[in-house]
Chains A and B, each alone.
Chain A
């Protein structure tokens, strides 16, 4: 019996060993080599594409992020990323109370705009109490007031070829300006606003004064602060390194941050 069993047992043990080795691979430092291999990264980024496609398929394009009440507000709304943009230019704007701040709307639009903060406040406003989710894992609830982005884009006349909206910012991190982007679905979503107030007060510098994006169905790094320009484009390829955002270009944060 044993001469019949043993070869098979040997085979089984070897097969078991293989499975164990595959399981143990990440435990070794070889894990980082697997992690860094380009084909592996390509396969893993499929996960993001599947999340994006399935969320778009399952979710009504205007489905709202949860809105809360004043009783739910975080006692202190945490800021993150740039808390004070560097440079004399921004400091001068702070000194003048952002009286000369301009938001340019350019790219694939019929009527390019250059809006002052007064122009923006004169447009129809939306106030919403929403939860801000950082990619790191924490959440804070705040009340935001601003102009819905779809109003601004309607005023500028979004042209047909415009597939993405790029958000330009006044803050630099390291050697590059912060920027972000989203598709038309999120750009035209009713809760996507350019906010100038937090919790009933003028937006603090740490939270993006004078104007920041709220894009409520995505993670915090998409909510570009210190907005200077909005650009409608057909493709993200020639913007930054082509991945659609500052962190996307640098550390492979996912462009679609709904998950």
Chain B
């Protein structure tokens, strides 16, 4: 607070919004999820087909496949086939060599094909994700984050309130003053969805793909309907997290990137003024 010169900036305009565990977890996750996504895309390249059920290999029906013809690359979902030459299935690497792996080198770790190396990155950073997530969930539950910040109040559940928040977001009308100090309903639902649904789901489906862990916890196979179903869900959840990331970044940019990023670094958030409000 040393820089909040009282003469011009009343202290009420700045709020301590993100506590240290939140900030550490946020940036740990930013890096971890990036590594997991990019190494995961490389692992997918080893067998770019997805199935439902206990088994699935080349002779079985894949609900999603990325592949190449003689001249093109394509993505097939169900019976819908889209040509993706240049991006998926057939693309040119940085040395100008045409490749027919599913995801291109710029999107994978490592950039050149290596299933073994991608697994090392993926299975090591999986530990970081799972341990940090567990600690953060415990801290959220017992440290008050869940109760004070993420808890959805009774009034917020009303369809009218939710619809109003959707309209405000669509019009890029962001809360100002005191209201900006709290999460709005869409924020609460998306953070709860990521922390308590998507991230646990991606960890659990990842573990379900492990033949060793299947012997430890066979019920996971029943929960997800088989190893290949778990692999499909793992892939879908990864892209849901990418979708969350894109909306998240868009909102940060629209709501004031410096203030938002600063608050995730220092904890201190400057409450935005309403339009026309005197400086």
A residues apposed to B, CB below 8 Å: 1, 4-5, 8-9, 12-13, 15-16, 19, 22-23, 26-27, 29, 31-32, 35, 41, 43-48, 50-51, 55, 58-59, 63-66, 68, 72, 74-76, 78, 131, 133-141, 216-219, 247, 251-254, 257-259
Contacts and interface: CB of A to CB of B under 8 A. Distances in A.
B162 interface: no
Given A131-B55, A137-B47, A31 B110 contact: yes
21 contacts: A1-B9, A26-B109, A35-B110, A35-B114, A48-B120, A48-B124, A51-B210, A51-B212, A55-B210, A59-B216, A74-B59, A76-B57, A131-B227, A137-B43, A138-B57, A139-B228, A141-B54, A219-B211, A257-B211, A258-B213, A259-B123
Interface residues of B, number: 58
A52 to B, nearest CB: 9
- Best-surrounded residue of B116, B209, B211 (most CB of chain A within 10 A): B211
Contact of A64 (B49, B215, B227): B215
A68 to B, nearest CB: 7
B68 interface: no
A29 B111 contact: yes
A4 B8 CA distance: 12
Contact of A23 (B31, B114, B214): B31
A63 B54 CA distance: 19
3 A-B pairs with least C-beta separation: A258-B212, A47-B124, A137-B47
Given A74-B55, A76-B59, A138-B56, A51 B211 contact: no
A75 B258 CA distance: 58
B178 interface: no
B120 A141 contact: no
B231 A12 contact: no
B212 A55 contact: yes
Nearest to B258: A9
B119 A135 contact: yes
B124 A44 contact: yes
B227 A133 contact: yes
A44 B216 contact: no
A78 B228 CA distance: 15
Nearest to A47: B124
B58 interface: yes
A220 to B, nearest CB: 9
Given A131-B211, A259-B210, 14 more contacts: A1-B5, A8-B3, A31-B111, A35-B117, A44-B121, A46-B124, A47-B126, A59-B213, A64-B215, A78-B57, A78-B59, A134-B47, A139-B54, A141-B55
Interface in B47-72: 47, 49, 54-60
Nearest to B213: A55
B265 interface: yes
B27 interface: yes
Contacts of B211: 65, 131, 133, 216-219, 257-258
Nearest to A256: B212
A51 B123 contact: yes
B31 A140 contact: no
Contacts of B116: 247, 251-254
Contacts of A65: 211, 214-215
B218 interface: yes
B266 interface: yes
Contacts of A29: 94, 111
A136 B47 contact: yes
Given A22-B31, A44-B124, A137 B262 contact: no
Nearest to A64: B215
Contacts of A136: 46-47, 115
A117 to B, nearest CB: 28
Nearest to A248: B116
B105 to A, nearest CB: 9
Contact of A48 (B44, B46, B123): B123
B35 interface: yes
A26 B213 contact: no
Contacts of B106: 27
B274 interface: no
A68 B46 contact: no
A44 B39 CA distance: 13
A63 to B, nearest CB: 4
B38 interface: yes
Contacts of A9: 258, 262
Contacts of A135: 46, 115, 119
Interface in B5-53: 5, 8-9, 27, 30-31, 34-35, 38, 43-44, 46-47, 49
B265 A251 contact: no
